[in-house]
Amino acid sequence: MPKNWRPVGRSAIAASALIALVLVTDVLETVADVAGAAAMDDVMLWTNTGFFVLAAVAFIVWLWRVRANAELLVGPHGQRLTREWVIAGWICPVVNLWFPYRVVVDVWRASSPDRANVRDGLVVWWWMAFVVSWLFTRFITLAGIVDTVPLIAACLLDLVSGALALLVVRRITEWQSPTRG
């Protein structure tokens, strides 16, 4: 591994564990919501929100580290965006719809052991699922929709997005492991 290489295993474990907790609490919140258990729904909503914030921070810490490593692999010009966009890309309106994807796909391509033939379909599917899930959830929340089918659909979209995020974290982390060929 290049000099200044940062191990990413622990940050990947933290991000993955917190993403998994978000998914579990999302399901529990949806069940409580559909069952009409308002008190439990409120508890799960706040629990889910807390885990979501922690997962977001852990994911960004992990992404910062893998992005720094990717730069060591391909140089600073091998990434389309500067490292600051690892954070800013998530919080700047409008560009947050595609900058995080760009950061992740660039890291994906730089980290792949076969850079010449890398396929980034998993990253594309994760990002599409994430954006659709986010937009759909915002829509039903702002519209005040509390019907069972949209609530379950939102939960399923979250589960797909989260599962794909876990796969992306795992693959990039494996590619950046010390045993990488």
Note the pLDDT tens digit of each residue in 46-79.
999 999 999 999 999 999 999 999 999 998 788 9
Q: How confident is the model at residue 180 (pLDDT cuts 50, 70, 90)?
A: low
pLDDT in tens, 157-173: 999 999 999 999 999 99
Lookup: tokens for 116: 């010449």
Q: If you average pLDDT over residues 131-144, what whole number do you get?
A: 96
State pTM to two decimals.
0.93
Exposure of 36 by Cβ count < 10 A (0-12 exposed, 13-18 middle, 19+ buried)?
A: exposed
